[in-house]
């Protein structure tokens, strides 16, 4: 098991003290990160004591510590999951060979691009959410937002560590560029489009953490299978923290829906009470689910094939041995594709080229589970409304469905139908104005804004009326 050094300027379990050159490089990057955090991190809450979880290790017996901390003083550390010493490559062309502890030359550019693209999303989401604290529906939710933000900051550290350690001068430049690009910046935006929109209300935030962070889960899970061992071990530990982010979103949307159902059960209209009507919430779900599906990339992709063949990205839970052929050489993926005649036909794609689609399948199954969970709760509150996950063809701007129009059920439609109907499927400006009008900050311990039900429990077994944020 690795040794955790919590006393170091940068907490870590990667033996930073023994690598002075790397330590100096990271300690030079650290103040730039803190400056970025203060300038573009959560607005106006940096001086308050917030009850936060901090990663302190990776082994059994607890990996995190809870205490009050001011966010700029958060101990952002570098942690890699422990791994067996004799780990072998378990998929792709090099299956059976030892995993790599250094970057093979032939994969240097591809690995760097994967790490930079993943790393860029981490500070991007912090920037997107920086104003949200001003409208937090409770101290519990304000704490959750801050927890998500500091941990996304730690995930940036994780990727920067890989760049500094394994990619030399290029890696250091990429690490600096992570703090130079900014979400929504006209001249120097974040790499992925979904990370350039401000998230300024809590419906968007909970949808983002449910659907977009979940894309992150699947991307991290595929990298956790990587033959490049430092990347696999880094992302394995990131997944531990990411689970809380997705739970924040899943529970958040569930609590908003429950509150609306409670109001409806009493014979009142959520729209008249400052709560979120369920059809409106469905439109937000449609928007974020479809935008997040775009992040998986093209369903038929030579890039994906090369990343799999090279052993850089595996399928979801590849190492559990659930797939029939770890080399994925002999099979075809049945992909529905639209043709120029306006019909959807089935096409067989060599399985390696369909790796993004296979990963998306696992994501869709996960999202289906979540929607089913929300619907069970609605039923328990005697509410007839049921959410539906939009079909993967709906509202896509990447992949084989981009450029075609589909309804949420996945039926191909013409442009006129889309123009007429899309306001029923995606949030309108009126929806956004209404949701914005509901966003009232509520900072009294144990109290919640009217559009959201309380959670069933607090983090680390705290009571719901716990003072999660101490204002000074």
Partner 1 sequence: MSNRLCYVCEGGDCTEKGSGDIHDKLKDLVAQFDPDEEKIKIRRYPCFGACEQGINVTLFPDKIFYSEVTEADLPAIAAHIKGDGEPVTKLTGKCEPDVEQIIWDMLDSPY
- Do the bridges between strand 469-470 and strand 49-55 make them parallel or antiparallel, or are there none, so unpaired? antiparallel
36: tokens are 């970025």
Residue of 444, 388, 433 lying closest to 454 (CA atoms): 444
Q: What is the per-residue binding string for partner 1 in 50-79, x denoting contact by CB under 8 A?
A: ----------x-------------------
Among positions 238-257, residues that touch partner 1 (CB under 8 A) are 239, 243-244, 247, 251
Least separation in angstroms between residue 235's CB and partner 1 is 14
Cβ closest to partner 1, residue 144 vs residue 196: 144
Does 370 participate in binding partner 1 (rule CB under 8 A)?
yes
- For partner 1, which is the closer residue by CB, 187 or 461? 461
Question: Which residue in the set 132, 351, 378, 449 belongs to the binding site for partner 1 (CB under 8 A)?
Answer: 351
Stretch that binds partner 1, among 47-55, 102-110, 337-345, 366-374 (CB under 8 A): 366-374
Starting at the edge strand found earlier in the chain, the sheet holding 64-69 runs 64-69, 49-55, 469-470
368 binding partner 1? (CB under 8 A): yes
- Indicate which single residue of 217, 255, 258, 393 sits in contact with partner 1 (rule: CB under 8 A): 217
DSSP code per residue over 133-166: GGG-SSHHHHHHHHHHHHHHHHHHHHHHHHHHHH
Q: Which two tokens stand for residue 443?
A: 């900072």
Place of tokens 């982010």: 245
User: Of 34-42, 68-76, 112-120, 355-363, which segment contacts partner 1 by CB under 8 A?
Assistant: 355-363
Q: Are 63 and 244 in contact (CB under 8 A)?
A: no
7 CB-contact burial (10 Å; exposed 0-12 / middle 13-18 / buried 19+): exposed
Site for partner 1 in 283-342 (CB under 8 A): 315-316, 320-325, 328, 331, 333
350 beta partners: 332
Nearer to partner 1, 303 or 331 (CB): 331
Q: Which is nearer to partner 1, 177 or 309 (CB)?
A: 309
| Tally of CB atoms within 10 A around 433 | 9
Tokens 């350690």 found at: 165
Q: How far is the CB of 182 from partner 1 (least distance, A)?
A: 31
Q: Which is nearer to partner 1, 95 or 430 (CB)?
A: 95
Parallel, antiparallel, or unpaired: how do β-strands 344-350 and 332-338 relate? antiparallel
Could you tell me the CA-to-CA distances from 297 to 303, 360, 397, 438 in Å, in that order? 10, 9, 10, 34
**Cα–Cα distances in Å, from 102 out to 166, 212, 229, 406?**
7, 31, 8, 45
Identify the residue among 82, 306, 361, 467 touching partner 1 (CB under 8 A).
361
When the beta carbons of 372 and 430 are compared against partner 1, the nearer one is 372
**Which listed residue (362, 412, 413, 426) binds partner 1 by CB under 8 A?**
362
Q: How far is the CB of 453 from partner 1 (least distance, A)?
A: 16
Nearest residue (CB) to partner 1, 69 versus 328? 328
Closest C-alpha among 347, 306, 345, 346 to residue 328: 306
Residues that bind partner 1 (CB under 8 A): 60, 217, 239, 243-244, 247, 251, 315-316, 320-325, 328, 331, 333, 351, 358, 361-362, 365, 368-370, 372-373, 376, 457, 461
């Amino acid at each position: 098991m690795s040794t955790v050094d919590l006393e170091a300027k940068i907490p870590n379990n990667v033996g930073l003290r023994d690598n002075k050159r790397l330590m100096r490089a990271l300690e030079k990057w650290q103040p730039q990160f803190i400056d970025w955090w203060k300038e573009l991190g959560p607005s106006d809450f940096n001086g308050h004591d917030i009850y936060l979880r901090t990663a302190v290790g990776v082994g059994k017996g607890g990996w995190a510590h809870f205490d009050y901390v001011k966010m700029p003083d958060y101990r952002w550390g570098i942690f890699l999951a422990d791994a067996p010493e004799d780990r072998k490559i378990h998929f792709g062309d090099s299956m059976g060979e030892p995993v790599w502890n250094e970057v093979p030359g032939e994969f240097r550019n591809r690995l760097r691009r994967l790490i930079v693209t993943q790393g860029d999303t981490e500070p991007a989401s912090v920037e997107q959410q920086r104003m949200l604290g001003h409208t937090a529906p409770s101290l519990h939710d304000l704490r959750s937002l801050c927890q998500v933000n500091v941990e996304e900051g730690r995930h940036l550290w994780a990727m920067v560590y890989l760049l500094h350690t394994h990619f030399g001068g290029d890696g250091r430049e990429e690490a600096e560029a992570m703090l130079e690009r900014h979400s929504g910046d006209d001249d120097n935006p974040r790499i992925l489009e979904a990370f350039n929109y401000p998230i300024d209300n809590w419906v968007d935030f909970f949808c983002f953490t449910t659907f977009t962070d979940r894309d992150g889960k699947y991307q991290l899970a595929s990298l956790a299978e990587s033959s490049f061992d430092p990347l696999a071990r880094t992302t394995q530990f990131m997944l531990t923290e990411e689970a809380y982010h997705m739970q924040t979103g899943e529970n958040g949307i569930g609590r908003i829906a429950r509150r609306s159902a409670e109001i409806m059960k009493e014979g009142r209209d959520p729209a008249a009470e400052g709560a979120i009507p369920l059809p409106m919430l469905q439109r937000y779900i449609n928007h974020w689910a479809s935008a997040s599906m775009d992040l998986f990339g093209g369903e038929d992709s030579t890039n994906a094939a090369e990343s799999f063949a090279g052993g850089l990205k595996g399928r979801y839970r590849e190492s559990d041995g659930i797939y029939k052929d770890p080399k994925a050489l002999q099979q075809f993926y049945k992909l529905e594709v639209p043709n120029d005649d306006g019909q959807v036909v089935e096409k067989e794609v060599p399985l390696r080229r369909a790796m993004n689609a296979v990963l998306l399948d696992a994501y869709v199954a996960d999202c289906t589970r979540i929607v089913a969970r929300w619907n069970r709760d609605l039923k328990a509150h005697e509410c007839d409304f049921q959410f539906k996950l939009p079909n993967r063809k709906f509202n896509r701007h990447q992949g084989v469905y981009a450029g075609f129009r589909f309804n949420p059920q996945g039926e191909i439609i013409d442009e006129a139908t889309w123009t007429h109907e899309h306001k029923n499927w995606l949030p309108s400006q009126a929806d956004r104005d209404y949701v914005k009008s509901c966003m009232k900050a509520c900072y009294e311990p144990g109290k919640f804004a009217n559009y959201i039900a309380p959670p069933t429990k607090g983090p680390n077994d705290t009571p719901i009326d716990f003072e999660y944020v101490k204002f000074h």
